[in-house]
Amino acid sequence: MEILYVEDDLKTQEQTARFLRAQGHQVTVYDNIHEALDHVVHHTPDLLLCDYLLGAGTNGLTLAEQVRNRYPTCSIVMVSNFTTTENVIDAMKLGLDDYIQRPIALQDLYQRILDAVARRRRAFPALEASLEVGALKVDRARRSAQWHGELLHLTPTEFVILTHLAAHAGKVVTAIDLCALAKGERGEFERAGDLLKQPIFKLRAKLSQEGRYPQPIENVRGIGYRWVILAET
C-alpha cells in the first residue's frame, strides 16, 4: 500500500513511518501541507495518514479535502492530540474514513488504518488497471495513454481529465466534479469552468492533432463535458 504520511512531530513521524514500512508498505513522509499538496498532484496514494495540527495554525483538513476531491478511492485517516466534537464533525463532512485521538499504540493505530482501508475499498471497488474506449488505451498504473496507437504526452491534470471522462464515456460529467478531481477544488460552476478552460483546451488539441482525428470531448453547455463514443473508421 502506498501511504502518504504528514506529521510535523519528527519523533512521532520517524517511529510511525518505520513501523508502517516494517509492515511492508511504501511510506512517503512530509512535515508540512505545502509539500504534501504538491505530492498529491503527481501521485495517487492509497492512504493519507495526517496529523490535524501542522504548525503555524494550519490543519490537515485542507490537505484532506484536496485528496478526497482528487482521489475518491483514497482512504484518509486523521490523528490528533486535540480532538473536539467539532473537529470530528468537520472531518466526517469531508468524507474522512477515521479520526483518531492520541495517544494510541502503533499496533492499534495500524488496525484502525486497516479497518478504514477495508471500508473504503468496499465502498469503491478497485478500478481496472487498464481502460480502453475506442481508439483510446489508458494504463492507470503507468499513468500513460495511447490515442490511435500514439503515445499522448499529458500533464497530470490532463491525464486525470482524460481518464475520468473516458471512464464515463457517453455520460455527462459536471464541470464541478471534474474540477474537484483534476484540480482539487470544489466550487461554483463558473469557477470550475475557469480552472478547466486551459487544460481542456490543451487536451482537445492533443486529441484532435490539428484535425487528424475527430474530437471526442464534447462541451455540454451549462453542465460540463462528455466523452463521445466515436464510430470506428
pLDDT, tens only, 70-117: 888 889 999 988 777 777 787 788 888 999 999 999 999 999 999 999
Please give the pLDDT value at position 95. Answer: 84
Question: Letter for the amino acid at 108?
Answer: D
Mean pLDDT of the chain: 88
Q: pLDDT by residue (tens digit) across 111-139?
A: 999 999 988 887 766 556 678 898 999 98
Across 32-57, average pLDDT: 86
- Give me the domain span that covers residue 196: 130-227
From 89, 123, 157, the end of a domain falls on 123
Q: What CA–CA distances, in Å, run from 54 to 51, 76, 143, 202?
A: 7, 16, 31, 36
pLDDT, tens only, 170-229: 999 999 888 887 877 777 899 999 999 999 999 999 999 988 999 999 999 999 999 998
Q: What are the Cα distances from residue 124, in Å, to 38, 72, 75, 82?
A: 25, 8, 10, 30
Per-residue pLDDT, 81 = 83
Q: Where is 179: in which H helix or E strand? A: helix 175-183
CATH of residue 26's domain is 3.40.50.2300
Residue labelled with grid coordinates 464541478: 176
Q: Which residues contact 79 (CB under 8 A, 6 or more apart)?
A: 49, 50, 51, 52, 99, 100, 101, 102, 104, 109
